[in-house]
Amino acid sequence: MRSVSDLQVQVFADGADKASMLALYRQPHIKGFTTNPTLMRKAGVTDYERFALEILERIPDRSISFEVFADDAIEMERQARKIARWPGNVYVKIPVTNTRQQPMYELIRHLSADGIQINATAVLALDQVRHIAKALRGGAPSYISVFAGRVADTGRDPVPLMKSALELIAPQPNTQLVWASPRELLNIFQADEIGCHIITVTSGVLKKLTLVGKDLHEYSLETVRMFHDDAARSGFTLERTADIAYSL
């Protein structure tokens, strides 16, 4: 099994907890960061701009994606241009559509042509990748974030979709594919195997990196001990109703 140090896919930390982000910044295998309004809400962020600028001051030299939160193209553009002026290696996340399912391809094209680094987000379908790739052609460095984990949540295997997405953007060296919303550590190795450029990973999944290559018999024994110890801590008992003779 390949080790973490052998991986070619870039691992980006996905979250909005400041302490966690700064701790992960000290890890050389974390190449960038992504966040979104939902993650910020979960982390208790109330001042969007203040949080972002504080993070950028502490993490000035790695890619960080911040998302617009407006629901019409005009306000999205205003927010995107403001975010793009923040210091650091900022990518502006633009959703593939607004809440009325109106595509944001033209806005993505316009911003990218003006030199703004775009992270097209909330992408789940291959036709969306095709339209976004066309919009980004010839523009600034960009990401297309395909939510492979959400694709898997629907019972579909995301790997063929991600392979096809890579083929679509292959002629565009300035565009990188992001495997977003992974559900398990295995997804990192799947993304690496197909040549995906980036995978965004939450801290919960990142904690499992210490398990890579672990001996399975040792892991089995640890699991047995966990069950036994938790039963003991809970004080579980079963009333004795009969004597059973059993010998190993």
User: In the prediction, which pLDDT does 2 show?
Assistant: 66
Inside any domain, residue 235? no
Give the chain's end-to-end CA distance (angstroms, integer).
36
User: In the prediction, which pLDDT does 63 show?
Assistant: 98
Inside any domain, residue 219? no
Q: Within its chain, how far is the Cα of 36 from the centroid? A: 10
**Average confidence score pLDDT of the chain:** 95
Give the range of the structural domain holding residue 153, as residue numbers without chain letter. 4-208
User: In the prediction, which pLDDT does 6 show?
Assistant: 83
Q: Which residue has the tokens 């019409």?
A: 72
Is the pLDDT at 243 greater than 80? The verdict is no
How many domains does the chain fold into? 1
Six token digits for residue 241: 């109703």
Cα-Cα-Cα-Cα torsion 32, 36, 39, 41, nearest 10 degrees, comes to 140
User: In the prediction, which pLDDT does 245 show?
Assistant: 64
Inside any domain, residue 108? yes
Inside any domain, residue 248? no
Inside any domain, residue 232? no
pLDDT digits (tens, 9 = 90+) for 134-178: 999 999 999 999 999 999 999 999 999 999 999 999 999 999 999
CATH of the domain at 62: 3.20.20.70
Inside any domain, residue 241? no
Inside any domain, residue 220? no
Provide the whole-model pTM: 0.92
pLDDT digits (tens, 9 = 90+) for 186-202: 999 999 999 999 999 99
Is the pLDDT at 109 greater than 90? The verdict is yes
Inside any domain, residue 222? no
- Collapse the DSSP code of 48 into the 3-class scheme (helix H, G, I; strand E, B; otherwise coil) and give the result: helix
